[in-house]
Structure 1
Amino acid sequence: MVFRDEEGRFHHIGAKFGEVNPFVLLPGSRVRVKRIAKKLDSPEVVWDGRFLMINGFYGGKPVTVIDTGIGPSSAAIVVREVIEGIDFNKHEKAVLLRVGTSGSLQEFVKPGDLVVTTGTVAEESVSERIVGPKYPLCADPDIVRALVKAAEENGYELGKNLHVGVTHAKEALYEVEDPSFSGFPMRARENLELLERLGVLCT
């Protein structure tokens, strides 16, 4: 059950059933939604409210772009309504891609580099609510390969400005990025150092 208004629009994303396309890009902000939409053919605003949803086509494929807001909790609300809004009687499957920025944990990951996530260290509680505490959060390997191929075709080079590997998700930004903001600064600093030693690419 998800919340809808009297017109059948989902409460948060504003779309009706069937208005969400099977290829979905999920940036964090509406500014990025607008930036991505400039790359689409025939862009059309579906909803401009709490979140901004734009439909269009890329390479002939129907695409939806919608922002998720900040953090896993907001993203979980948007993603649930997005999934419920796709008509799987018309589409066999869907592809949802979270696109955005991260802070590097490795010296070789530079500003402007592209990171393709293969899996996530989940230091947040939302994913546990969805799939339980022990389920590994891994990306679809076919999607990973497709993303790497597309990146290489657009001038990115593995090991140079294209990186593939594990990333880190968190609920608190400043308390993780700067341990001095944490009530447990020593523990937070040690955790950040551990992620770096384990080869986690970014957070």
Structure 2
Amino acid sequence: MGKARELKGNEILKHIRCKMGDVAPYVITPGDPARVKRIVEHMDSAEFIAENREYTVYTGTYKGTPITVCSHGIGGPACSIAFEELIMLGAKVFIRVGSAGGRQKDIPIGTPVVITASFRGEGTSKVYLPAEFPAVADLDVTNAMIAVLKESGTPYRAGVGYCRDAYYVQDQNLNALLTEAGVMAAEQEAAILYIIGSKRGVKTGAVVSTDSNIWLENQPTIEEKEILYRQGESHTIRTALEAMYKLYQQGAHEF
């Protein structure tokens, strides 16, 4: 298990522009900086810490749980920087709250999907560990999110995701193969989070709201998709916050 780089004194990290003491052990990581603000609106308190490039950081509390919310941008290289720097500053438990394309015909747009593991169709994670090493979420984090969704009665799906690099390139043969194998959703960051979690020894999980589905026969308009996605996003935000509260009660950061 590789250790994160040790910091020097009161060093401010280059990309997320945070120093020791700015980051809580529990971290929610959306891709979109605007989603950071929608998440912190649901917290009991949240203090703006820093903003640089795609990285916007707030730290506060939710039901007594110390939580940092930090955006990570789109794709492997950008998110790996955020995850690494957050770990250097003491982050122990991560939940990615994101968007994804549904990959089963019976997954409506706006469905929360808990990604239990990820097909590594991108390049960044392979710098950390060989392609044969599985990208798997932490069981405690995954179970906490599923428990929240079940308790709320929210329709959801849980299963393997497809993590890829080139957003505008579709490999139709691979898409069909992965759908046949039960892949639930496609996005661009979960595999990197899970592999870095394995490499650095932190707990990770992800819940995403579907904003599209390539298999739907009747495709909604962009405006309709946005409405449906935002409905799902509200469920993913609540799921992440409530799961963090459960994990904090369990002492998930004490390892």
Task: Name the TM-score, length of structure 1 as normaliser.
Answer: 0.84
How far does residue 27 in structure 1 lie from its aligned partner after superposition?
0.2
Q: Could you say which residue in structure 2 is the equivalent of 1:167?
A: 161
Task: Work out which of the residue numbers 55, 79, 87 in structure 2 matches 1:83.
Answer: 87
State the AA in 1 paired with 2:174.
N
Q: Any conservation in 2 of the 1:19–1:86 contact (CA below 8 Å)?
A: no
CA distance in 2, matches of 1:42, 1:104: 33
SS in 2 for 1:103: strand
1:107 matched to which residue of 2? 105
Greater Cα radius of gyration, structure 1 or 2: 1
Structure 1 residue 5: Cα displacement? 10
Match of 1:154 in 2: 152
> Which of the residues 182, 185, 190 maps onto 1:199?
182
Match of 1:52 among 53, 56, 68: 56
Contact 1:116-1:163 at 8 Å conserved across structures: yes
Structure 1: distance between partners of 2:166 and 2:76: 10
| 1:119-134 matches, cutoff 5 A | 119-134=117-132
Tell me, in whole angstroms, the C-alpha distance in 1 between the residues paired with 2:101 and 2:89.
32
Given the alignment, which residue of 64, 70, 74 partners 1:66? 70
How far is 1:155 from its partner?
A: 2.6
C-alpha RMSD over aligned residues: 1.9
* One of 37, 42, 46 as aligned partner of 2:45: 42
What secondary structure, in the 3-state scheme, does the structure 1 residue paired with 2:160 have?
A: strand
Structure 2 residue corresponding to 1:28, chosen from 26, 31, 36: 31
TM-score, normalization: structure 2? 0.68
Highest relative contact order (Cα 8 Å, sep 6+), 1 or 2? Answer: 2
Displacement of 1:133 in angstroms is 2.0
Is residue 45–residue 62 contact of structure 2 (8 Å, CA) maintained in 1? no
Whether the 8 Å CA contact 1:43–1:56 is kept in 2: the answer is yes
User: Do residues 10 (structure 1) and 4 (structure 2) align?
Assistant: no
- Which residue type is aligned with residue 139 of structure 1? A
Aligned residues of 1:3 and 1:11 also touching (Cα < 8 A):
no
- Any unmatched runs of 5+ in structure 2? 187-255
Query: Is the CA contact (8 Å cut-off) linking 2:7 and 2:88 kept in structure 1?
Result: no
Shift of 1:140: 1.0
Q: Secondary structure at the match of 2:86?
A: helix
**Structure 1 residue 149: deviation in Å?**
0.6
Residues paired across the two proteins, number: 182
Shift of 1:66: 0.5
Please tell me whether the aligned partners of residues 58 and 68 of structure 2 are also in contact (alpha carbons under 8 angstroms).
yes
Q: Report the equivalent of 2:22.
A: 19
Shift, 1:132, TM fit: 2.3
The verdict on how the C-alpha distance between 1:12 and 1:56 changes in structure 2, with shifts beyond 3 A counting, is: same
Report the 3-state secondary structure (helix = DSSP H, G, I; strand = E; otherwise coil) of the residue aligned with 1:10.
Answer: coil
